Amino acid sequence: MSRTSLETDREERQRLVSDVRRVLNFLASRAAILASVCSKQDACKDAIERLAHSLGDLSRDLGARPSTPCTALVLCGGGARGAAEVGLYSALQELKVPIDLVVGSSVGAIVGGFIASGLDARKLSDLWACVSEKWSLRPRRDLLWKGARSPALLDPSPLAKLLELHLPVKRFEDLATQLAVVATDTYSGKGVVLDRGELLPALLASSAIPGLFPPVELDGRLLMDGSLSHHLPLDVAIERGASRAIAVRCTKLRGGPVSGARDLVSRALQILLERQLAMSVELARGKAELWGLEPCYDEPVGLLDFKASLPLIECVRREAKKKLATLAKV
């Protein structure tokens, strides 16, 4: 079967699944509204609520059934170096490589949210390049009286407003491509996969860097940065049926001397993330076809240094187009 025929069949299946999910989501929302107006004593209330949840679950499960083969874009953490993932997306769009599933952690969740919403790669690149102008880093007010007892240094509301303004959709169910983001439970330390309901709280939870941003309470759990449990969530993509995974390394362990407590903490975090990334790749071998890119970009990019994004985006875009060109012929 030709590539054109495969793409046509895939698009037809995706349209059909999308139509069915839209109907299920509509019925689930109407059932939820009906349940909300029922009195607590109404015997039908519980049954209607169960029906609403069942319809929502059915829609989610239907969306989780991948086409064959399933290509997943797997996005890791790395702060401003998430620009590398924007460059990778630009290359994939130029090569017209179809993406069936997006899985992201930390900044990868934010990039993944935009990609899964269907935002054009050029628009995402432009947005990423001017994040430093649009997003002001503002200390939390309670630092004045709480000091070290404050849950974080930075106020997350400017980031929330930026995402709310530019995200084309508000809910997972309305995304053009299936998306799963990973956060970390602050109590158990286990990864939590978020793939339904409101999109913004999930993205904020997955990218809540400990110490910088406060954890996010969601569905009764206090969640923080997904990189702590799943720096590169290949296992989540494979569990959801991915037969091929595409990723780019955003973090890189730099050698050389360190000086001061801040450098030591930063180096320790890099070591932990690198070990976790290596373990994720090793566990995924043989379970899916892995396409990884390590950009030849040695200029330092700080955790929140978004001003340095544009050269990194362009560097990865060029390298990815060369390395992944064969995927465009599959």
- Residues recognised as catalytic: 106, 225
Q: Inter-axis angle of helices 107-116 and 121-129, to 10 degrees?
A: 140
- Closest by alpha carbon to 277, among 301, 251, 243, 240? 251
Distance in angstroms (rounded) separating the CA atoms of residues 146 and 149: 5
Spatial contact of 266 and 312, defined as CB atoms under 8 Å apart: no
Q: How many CB atoms lie within 10 A of CB 278?
A: 12
Q: Return the structure tokens found at 82.
A: 């998430």
Sequence-distant (6+) residues with CB within 8 A of 132 are: 306, 307
Prior bond of 214 cis (ω within 30°) = no
DSSP code string of 202-226: HHHHHT--TBTS--EEETTEEEE-G
DSSP state of 8: H
Torsional sign, CA 262, 263, 269, 270: positive
**Residues in the chain, overall count:** 330
Distance in angstroms (rounded) separating the CA atoms of residues 220 and 250: 31
CA-CA distances (angstroms) from residue 45 to 24, 25, 104, 233?
19, 19, 37, 39
- Pairing type for strands 289-293 and 244-248 reads parallel
